[in-house]
Amino acid sequence: MTLVMKFGGTSVGSAKAIQRTANIILNNRSEWPQQVIIASAMSGVTDLLFEGATSAASGDAVTYREVAKKLRQKHFQVISELLPTGDEGQQLTAQLDKFIERYESLCKAVLVLGELTPRALDAMTSIGERMSVRLIASYLRHRGQSAQAIDATELIVTDDTFQGAVPLMDNTTVCSEARLRPLLEEGVVTVVTGFIGANEKGVVTTLGRGGSDYSAAILGQALHADEVWIWTDVDGVMTADPRLVPEAQTISTLSYREVAELAFYGAKVLHPKTIRPVVENNIPLWIKNTFHPEKSGTEIVQERSESNGDIKAVTAIRNLSLVVVEGKGMLGVPGIAARTFGAVARSNISVLLISQASSEQSICFAVPAQATKDIVSGLELEFRRELMCRDIDRITAQERVAIVTVVGAGMRGTPGIAGRLFSALGDRQVNIIAIAQGSSECSISMVVDNLDTAEAEKAIHALIISS
C-alpha cells in the first residue's frame, strides 16, 4: 500500500509546522508502511529566491545578499529548534549553507551578466525545496524514523520548458520505481522535493509556481499509489470563502470538473492540470488540513453521480471590469466577436466571462480591472472604422464589478436553478448586471457590483445549505 502525501509551504514553514507534519507522517505509519512525502519550500522561501535572482539581473547588488541572509536565518533557526544537539543539526546546517552559497554565486553571475535565463532561474529557485526536504528527513530521523531526502531531479524527467516543465511519464515511472521502491520496501520514509524535476540531460527544471501539487500527482501516477493526500492550511474545499461566509462548510466530495470550475472562478483549490494524473488514473485524492488532521477533508473523484439540483459551492472574483461593445450596426455582421476577442488576446489578457444579447447589438465580457484601459484602447483601434461610421456606437467599461459563480455538476438538466439563484439575489437587493452559463451546465456565473459580492455569496450559500 503506497501513500503519497504532499505538504505545502505553510505545513513546513516553521519548527512547529514541521513537528506537526512529522506527527502526521508518524501517526499514519502503521496503516501506510510505504510513504512518499512531497514537500514545498518553507513558506515565503520561493518568493525570496525569485526576488534575489530578479533584482540581481536588474543590477542590484544588495538585495540578493539580504535574501541569502534571510534564508540562513530562517533555516538555521528551525534547525536549532528541531535538532538542538548532536551531529545531525551541524551537518544539516553545513549542507544548507552550501546551497545558499551556491545561490549567492549564481546571483553574482547573473548580476555580472545582467541577464537571467529561465534555465538559471530554475536552478536558483530549486534550492528552497532541496533545503526543506533535508530538514524534514533529518527531523524524522531525530524522531527515530528512518527517512531519506531525495531530489526529484532523480525521479521526475521533464522536457526542456524551464519554468513550466512537462513531465515525460514513461521515463519518470521507470526512474521513480527504481529509486524509491527499494527504499519504501525497507520502510524508509522518502521525502521528495516538490516543484522540481530535471530534463533528460539531468539539468534541473521547475514545474511552475505552486508546482508541488503537480509533483505529488506525477509521483502518485508513476508509483501507482493507492491514495494521494494533499496537506494544506484549510479544511479541504469549502462551500464558500469562509472570510465572507462564516457558515461555509467543507465539501466532502467534488468531481474533477467542479474543481476546474472553482479554480477558474477564483476559489483557492488545486489547479486542475496538476491533479489530472491522479484523477485520470482513478487514484483517490484527498485535500486535508495540517492544522486539523482529524477532519476528513475533501475527496476529489473523476466523476460522480450527482443528486439532482445539487449546488456545491459559490465562489467570487472581485475587481473586474465589464467591457461592452455595442452598436446597432453589429446586427448580423459576422466577425465582430472574432475581432473583439482577437484584439483582447493581443493585450495578452484572459477573458473570464462572455455574454451576448440575442439581438446581437452588444457583446460584453469581464476582464481584470487593471487591464481595462489597454483593452478599451485596443478595441477602439480595431474598430476605428466602425466607430466612425457608427456601426459600433460605443465601447465602454463598467468598472468595479465581480463575478459570482455557482458550481455543481448536479445542476445539469435540473430546471429552476437559475430562478432560485435570481430570486435569492433579488430578495437581498443584489442587482445582476450580466449572466453566463457554460454549456456543461456545471456552473452559472453572475456579474454584480463589487460591493455586493459578500451579500451575493451569502444569499447563494443559504441555498446550498438548504438544498
Applying CB under 6 A, which residues contact ligand ASP?
Answer: 8-9, 40-41, 46, 128, 194-195, 209-212
> Among candidates 119, 126, 103, 122, which has minimal Cα distance to 56?
103
Min CB(51)–ligand ASP separation in Å: 12
Among 4, 9, 192, 443, binds Mg ion (CB under 5 A): 9
Min CB(20)–Mg ion separation in Å: 17
Min CB(120)–Mg ion separation in Å: 21
The closest residue (CB) to Mg ion is 9
Q: Identify which of residues 212 and 239 has a Cβ nearer to Mg ion in the complex.
A: 212
Measure the CA–CA gap between 467 and 461, rounded to whole angstroms: 10
Measure the CA–CA gap between 127 and 59, rounded to whole angstroms: 22
Binding track over 63-92 against Mg ion, x by CB under 5 A: ------------------------------
Q: Identify which of residues 32 and 195 has a Cβ nearer to ligand ASP in the complex.
A: 195
Measure the CA–CA gap between 420 and 424, rounded to whole angstroms: 6
Q: Identify which of residues 194 and 378 has a Cβ nearer to ligand ASP in the complex.
A: 194
| Set of cell numbers at residue 73 | 536565518
Distances (CA, A) of 119 to 94, 104, 162, 203, 397: 26, 16, 6, 8, 40
Min CB(445)–ligand ASP separation in Å: 28
Q: Identify which of residues 2 and 206 has a Cβ nearer to ligand ASP in the complex.
A: 206
Q: Identify which of residues 194 and 272 has a Cβ nearer to ligand ASP in the complex.
A: 194
The reply to whether 13 sits near Mg ion by the rule CB under 5 A is: no
The closest residue (CB) to ligand ASP is 212
Q: Identify which of residues 46 and 340 has a Cβ nearer to ligand ASP in the complex.
A: 46
Measure the CA–CA gap between 191 and 135, rounded to whole angstroms: 10
Min CB(277)–ligand ASP separation in Å: 15
Min CB(5)–ligand ASP separation in Å: 14
Measure the CA–CA gap between 260 and 275, rounded to whole angstroms: 10
Site of interaction with Mg ion (CB under 5 A): 9, 40
